[in-house]
Chain A
Amino acid sequence: MGTLDGSTLPTLCRMATNALEIRGLRKTFGTFRAVDGVDLTVRPGTFHGIVGPNGAGKSTTIGMAVGLIVPDAGEIRILGHDAVRDRATARSLTGVLPDGLDLPERLTGAELLRYSAGLRGLSRTAAAERAGELIEVLGITKAAATPLADCSTGNRKKVGLAQALLHAPRLLVLDEPFEAVDPVSAASIRRVLRRFVDSGGTCVLSTHSMLLVEQMCDDVTVIHQGTVVAAGTVAAVAGGVPLEDRFVELVGAETGGADGLSWLVR
């Protein structure tokens, strides 16, 4: 982990105003450098999208930001708090929806929310009220009474999102929040998140959907091969062309599908 000295004081002051500030983040798995010196700034009260191809390092970056993966080097600050040294405060301010991790599979959706509320130290009354509202708003009445092991991927995502929102965090970090979620539920979730951001909260989401980023996000960071290749407002990064085209250009990929497969297209 990097250390601070007097020369970095102005940086620190600036960082204190940001919802999430990452500097020089690195992570290596074996011989694979998953994240290689990522810098990321998330302004408070904004939607911030993190995009990149598969294996670009998005989930690893998010995992390190919320303390689920230990970085090899780098600095992470959440709403001005050092995420490593002042871990408790950083955790209390953050709501997390990771991708691909298990849940307590024998609990029902409602029980998961009560469990999460208990972990966060919420009172029984507040927990019951908030859980009830979230279940209704997110449309997970059936999942609330079903063991998570038997829930669909989409319902698990929605229950996971509910637990991330339950303690009213100031920073939401969501990894692929709309994966396998039906369009109607997705619209509800977008409205909930928009209200959250409009009230001063900050939402960081990792996604493969450029359309979603264009519709929802104020800022976007493009990660490719463990490094940031573009960052800024969505309009600035897109540079006047559709974000998807810009993204393909940034990651240096060539979209296939134009040639071959003559047997398929008659």
Chain B
Amino acid sequence: MFRRSLREHPGPAVAAIAGLLAAGWLIHYASYGDQHTLSILAGTWVLGWLVLPLMLGAGRGRVRPSHLRLEPIGSLPAAAGLLLASAIGIGPLVSLVALAALPVHAARYGARGVLVAGFGALLLWLIGLIGSAFALESIGHAGGPAGAILTGVFTGTVMGVFGSVWAVAPWITFLLAGTPGHIVRWLPWFPGSWPLSAVAGPSGRGFGMIIGLVAIVLVLGAAYLTLVRRTLASGSSRRPGRSLSPRAGVWGPGPVWAVAGRELRAWGRHPLRLQYLAFAVVYGTLLAGLPLLAGADLLVPWAGVLTALWAAGMSAGLVGLDGTALWMPFGTPGGERAEVRGRALAWLLLVTPIAVLLTVAGMLVAPQVDPLPALAVLPAVLGAGGTVPVWVSLLRVRPVPDVRHPTSADNPTDMISVLVAVGGGVLAAAAPVACLIWGPSALAPVAGVVSGALLWFAGRWLADDRLAGRGAEVLAAAGQRTRPPETAIPLTWDAEWYRRNKATAWALILLMVGWVPVVPQGLMVLVFDISGGWIVASHLTGGARTGVAVAMVALGGALLLTGLVLWGRRPYPLSPGSSPEARTRS
């Protein structure tokens, strides 16, 4: 299994190097650092072991209890064997090395301290091992709403902290120097601190803490055994499907509301959608709120805008998440149009209240900050967020392997899709921001509404066009559990290929060239105020300089957008026997 894990994917080797570096740093810190901070770090490590596999796809390819269902084996040996198998690998090995930091720290208390802390570290390692196996089997595969929301909150928090690292870093430095007293008071409640507390505290209390760790290991082991037993008996670790109210609930009139009703129910029940929404809310809120730690309150009223932006980004792969369920609207008159409008409407109904609530909360938290910019940009972002992700997810369909029971590792969204969906919101925000910069600023909210409406209609038109012209192709792509064939692009000049694939060629050119005005000619000037001979805006000053840079961003955005449209319309790869009509447009 160890060889297999190394052979199948380069990821584990990279993770092993990163993990060993982190473990090495932890051991180094243990030799001089604060006991409580080390306990927090060790506990966080084990917590990461429990949660990260859920997000990073460790569930796929893993030997699972259901694989042993037909084998003549009892539940106890099966559970023991599965745990033993999960202990073989890079992750558990790196974790064992990292937790060795605890006996290293305890060396200052003598040999007994090393033994007790070492035993405690081993128990923590077992908690991570069994807890991870339990979490993967119960949450990762069952895809329950609580686990999904938890995963979204965790990823949003991690990303939010990384995104505001400049504001968080001083606090991390402060924590590494020594844990504040009010946190120390709470630490005894967290098992991560027990191995070192058992060494440093009174011996009676220390014994109790080690017994506590043993008890957690036993409870987790018993829970995992129950799961394995249930799986061997019924074939699935999932509880039988929960029944919902037999009443179909309230549905709005007409096809658009039918799709919107379907979408809203999916948002409330689909584990990955819940995860994405939780991520967007937490990430957006932290990006706006964490700078408060550094005394910067300027972003606080933007919590709603940032949440809406990320909600749009995380919605850029929803068609792939739904698999081939698109066949239903495709079989009804006007179904394609209803599909686009219903999806957009549902997103708007879902995200708008959250975004407005967060904006208002931000205004209350930081009343001294002018809320006008955030209020002006919000409708623009909401307008774009409704339809642009729908278009993107129809353009770049990435189906999940199992539509009925996806795991948290099944992410149908790729970075380009996210960037385009978020880019739609940024593009829409340009008009109100321009009003705020050059005035009249009072018109900024109107500009935001108009800009949002324009992007709403533009995204809707693009999505309509996609489904009208290539609906069957979208459906086929949604059914492809492997990637659809791509147009082969020659690496040298091929006149014949160019003649047959003009749309593809121009799409590639625009997608490559479009970044030049966006990044160096536009954003680098606006954000970093760079200058240079070929940077057009750097030859100007004041408002003209900003105006040219903004125009460059808009120009680049238009080029990239056109490139994406052309890419969506590129002809099929040539296949013998297929008609020219089918090759160019289905």
Chain B's interface size range is 35 or more
B258 touches A119 (CB 8 A): yes
Kindly state the separation between the CA atoms of A120 and B576 in the bound complex, as whole angstroms: 39
Known contacts A119-B258, A146-B243; A106/B331 CB under 8 A: no
Q: Considering the chains assembled together, what is the distance between the CA atoms of A101 and B328 in angstroms?
A: 10
A118 near B325: Cβ-Cβ < 8 Å: no
The answer to whether A105 touches B404, judged by C-beta atoms less than 8 angstroms apart, is yes
Q: Which of A31, A102, A114 meets B251, CB within 8 Å?
A: A114
Let me know if B248 and A114 touch, CB within 8 A. yes
A66 within 8 A of B: yes
Bound together, the chains give a CA A71 to CA B472 distance in angstroms of 10
Which of the 9-residue segments A90-98, A185-193, A201-209, A256-264 touches chain B?
A: A90-98
Contact (Cβ within 8 A) B335 A119: yes
Chain A residues with Cβ below 8 Å from B335 are: 91, 119
Let me know if B258 and A115 touch, CB within 8 A: yes
Check: A233 CB closer than 8 A to any chain B CB: no
A137 contact set on B, CB distance < 8 A = none
- A119 near B338 (CB under 8 angstroms)? yes
Chain A to chain B contacts (Cβ below 8 Å), 8 pairs? A30-B575, A33-B577, A68-B472, A91-B332, A110-B247, A119-B328, A141-B246, A146-B244
B403 and A72 within 8 A (CB):
no
**Which A residues are CB-close (under 8 A) to B241?**
146-147, 149-151
Number of interface residues of A (CB under 8 A): 57
- By beta carbon, the residue of chain B nearest A149 is B404
Q: What residues of A have a CB within 8 angstroms of the CB of B254 in the complex? A: 118, 121
Q: Residue of A at shortest CB range from B238?
A: A150
- A28-B575, A88-B334, A94-B331 in contact; A105/B265 too (CB < 8 A)? no
Additional 9 contacts, C-beta under 8 A, given A118-B255, A147-B242: A72-B579, A91-B335, A92-B333, A104-B328, A106-B265, A111-B249, A114-B261, A131-B248, A151-B241
Min Cβ gap A19→B in Å is 17
Q: What is the bound-complex CA distance between A150 and B405, given in angstroms?
A: 9
CB of A70 within 8 A of CB of B582, answer: yes
A79 at the binding interface (Cβ < 8 Å): no
Q: How far is the CA of A146 from the CA of B255 in the complex (A)?
A: 23
Q: Does any Cβ of A come within 8 Å of B262's Cβ?
A: yes
Asked if A1 meets B581 with Cβ closer than 8 Å, knowing A67-B330, A102-B323, the reply is yes
Contact B333 A147 (CB under 8 A): no
Q: Which residue of B lies closest to A147 (CB)?
A: B241
Q: Which of A72, A101, A128, A141 makes the CB contact (< 8 A) with B327?
A: A101
Instruction: Report B290-328 CB contacts with A as 1/0, cut-off 8 Å.
Output: 000000000000000000000000000000001111011
* Chain A residues within an 8 Å CB radius of B245: 145
Q: How far is the CA of A88 from the CA of B335 in the complex (A)?
A: 9
Contact with B along A111-154 (1 / 0, CB 8 A): 10111111111001001100100000000011011111111000
Does B383 lie at the interface of the complex (its beta carbon under 8 Å from any beta carbon of A)? no
* Docked pose: A26 CA to B578 CA in angstroms: 9
Give the chain A neighbours of B258 by CB distance below 8 A: 114-119
Given contacts A102-B322, A118-B261, A124-B253, is CB(A147)–CB(B472) below 8 Å? no
A31 vs B578: C-alpha distance when bound (angstroms): 9
A28-B575, A147-B241, A150-B241 given; A91·B331 CB < 8 A: yes
Complexed CA–CA distance, A216 and B252 (Å)? 39
Q: Is B270 an interface residue (CB 8 A)?
A: yes
CB-CB under 8 A from B323, the residues of chain A are 101-102, 105
Q: Is B269 an interface residue (CB 8 A)?
A: yes
- A127–B247 CA distance with the chains assembled, in angstroms: 12
**Nearest Cβ on chain A to B480's Cβ, whole angstroms:** 11
Q: Verify A102–B261 contact, CB threshold 8 A.
A: no
B253 touches A102 (CB 8 A): no
Q: Given the interface contacts A120-B332, A121-B254, does A142 sit within 8 Å of B578 by beta carbon? A: no
Contact partner of B579 (CB less than 8 A), chosen from A68, A73, A163, is A73
Q: Is A103 an interface residue (CB 8 A)?
A: yes
Would you give the shortest CB distance from A198 to chain B, in whole angstroms? Answer: 25
Nearest CB in chain B to that of A144: its residue = B246
B461-492 toward A: CB 8 Å interface, digit per residue (1/0)? 00000000000110110110000010000000
| A121 & B255 in contact (Cβ 8 Å cutoff) | yes
Q: How far is the CA of A71 from the CA of B582 in the complex (A)?
A: 8
Whether a CB of chain B sits under 8 angstroms from the CB of A108 is: yes
Instruction: Check A108–B248 contact: CB distance below 8 A.
Output: yes
A181 contacts chain B at the CB level, 8 A cutoff:
no
Q: A33: nearest residue on chain B (CB-CB)? A: B577
Let me know if B270 and A142 touch, CB within 8 A.
Answer: no
- Is A101 touching B324 in the complex (CB atoms < 8 A)? yes
Min CB–CB distance A134 → chain B (angstroms): 12
List B contacts of A108 (CB < 8 A).
244, 246, 248
B-side residues, CB < 8 A to A, are 240-249, 251-255, 257-259, 261-262, 265-266, 269-270, 322-325, 327-335, 338, 403-405, 472-473, 475-476, 478-479, 485, 575-579, 581-582, 586
Pairs of residues from A and B, 6 with the lowest C-beta to C-beta distance, nearest first: A118-B258, A150-B241, A102-B323, A88-B333, A114-B248, A70-B586
> In whole angstroms, how far apart are the Cα atoms of A72 and B472 in the complex?
12
Does A104 contact B327, Cβ atoms closer than 8 Å? no
For B257, list chain A residues within 8 Å (CB). 118
Q: Quick check: A72 and B333 within 8 Å, CB to CB?
A: no
Q: Decide if A230 is an interface residue (CB 8 Å cutoff).
A: no
Cα–Cα distance between A207 and B247 once the two chains are bound (Å): 33
Query: Which of A110, A115, A150 is packed against the most chain B CB atoms within 10 Å?
Result: A115
| Distance of A151 Cα from B322 Cα, bound (Å) | 16
Residue in chain A with minimal CB distance to B582: A72
Taking the closest CB of chain B, its distance from the CB of A72, in whole angstroms, is 4
Q: B324 and A102: CB pair below 8 A?
A: yes
> B405 to chain A: which residues have CB within 8 Å?
149
A236 interface contact, C-beta 8 A: no
Contact B331 A142 (CB under 8 A): no
Contact A124 B329 (CB under 8 A): no
A170 to chain B, nearest CB (A): 14
Q: Which chain B residues lie closer than 8 Å to A73 at the CB level?
A: 579, 581-582
Which residues of A have CB within 8 Å of B577?
Answer: 28, 31, 33, 72
A115:B251 contact, CB within 8 angstroms: yes
Which chain B positions have C-beta within 8 A of A163?
328
- CB neighbours (8 Å) of A101 from chain B are 323-325, 327, 479
CB-CB under 8 A from B266, the residues of chain A are: 104, 106-107
Q: Does A212 contact B (CB under 8 A)?
A: no
**Residue A211 at the chain B interface, CB threshold 8 Å:** no
A69 at the binding interface (Cβ < 8 Å): yes
Shortest beta-carbon distance, B18 to chain A, in Å? Answer: 36
Taking CB atoms, residues of chain A closer than 8 Å to B575 are 28-31
**Complex formed: what's the CA distance from A73 to B576 in Å?**
14
Complex CA–CA separation, A30 to B330 (angstroms): 24
A65 to B83 Cα, complex, angstroms: 52
With A31-B577, A145-B245 in contact, is A106–B269 under 8 Å at CB? yes
Q: Is the CB of A104 within 8 A of B325?
A: yes
* A residues less than 8 Å from B581 (CB atoms): 1, 72-73
Task: Give the CA-CA distance A124 to B325 in the complex, in Å.
Answer: 23
Whether A66 contacts B582 in the complex (CB less than 8 A), given A104-B266, A108-B244, comes out as: no
Known pairs A28-B577, A33-B577; A68 contacts B248 (CB<8 A):
no
Contacts of A94 in B (CB 8 A): 331
**What residues of chain B lie closer than 8 Å to A131, measured between beta carbons?**
248
Name A110's closest neighbour in chain B (CB-CB): B248
**8 Å CB contact of A105 from B325, B330, B333, B578:** B325
Smallest CB separation, A161 vs chain B (Å): 14
A145 close to B246 (CB less than 8 A) = yes
Residue pair B330, A107 in contact (C-beta under 8 Å): no
A50–B586 alpha-carbon span in the complex (Å): 26
- CA A149 to CA B403, docked complex, whole Å: 8
With a CB–CB cut-off of 8 A, which chain B residues contact A142? Answer: 243
